[in-house]
Amino acid sequence: MLITPLVELGKSFLNNKLEKTKAKHEAELKRLQNDADWDANQAQNASNSWKDEWFAILLSIPMVGAFIPDAVPYIERGFEVLSNMPDYYKAFLGGAIAASFGIKTLSNWGNK
């Protein structure tokens, strides 16, 4: 008589653990599918846009200018001005550039 309730309690406990594991697994599968859908949308959108090329050119200007002695003071001053911009502006700009290149998160940016 005592064994049957204990067995049922054990079964119930194991079933609950199984259901939790299944729910976690399904949530992870949904997250992975959403990520894959996001990647596919980004790739399709990028195929009809000059945004990526524009950002690549824009980001290359200081690098190229660094080899032109007369341009160096302007580049240095430009970076000084950018460093004084509000953090929210730098975050939005970084987010726009990251999204353009298909980077989903900047959460590790700056972490060492």
Give the mean pLDDT per block of 10 residues along the chain (112 residues): 78 90 92 82 70 85 95 96 94 84 60 52
Q: Are residues 61 and 24 located together in one domain of the fold?
A: no
Look up tokens 């002695």; give the residue.
69
Q: Which residues contact 79 (CB under 8 A, 6 or more apart)?
A: 62
3-state secondary structure of 111: coil
Report pLDDT for 22.
Answer: 93
pTM over 0.85: no
Taking CA atoms, 112 is separated from 59, 63, 107, 109, in Å, by 23, 24, 12, 9
Q: Are residues 20 and 3 located together in one domain of the fold?
A: yes
CA distance 23 to 53: 42
- Counting the structural domains of the chain, the total is 2
Q: Are residues 73 and 85 located together in one domain of the fold?
A: yes
Q: Are residues 38 and 76 located together in one domain of the fold?
A: no
Report pLDDT for 74.
Answer: 96
Domain that holds residue 66: 50-102
Any domain includes 111 = no
CA distance 46 to 103: 13
Report pLDDT for 8.
Answer: 82
Structural tokens at position 33: 């599918």
Report pLDDT for 107.
Answer: 53
CA distance 17 to 10: 11
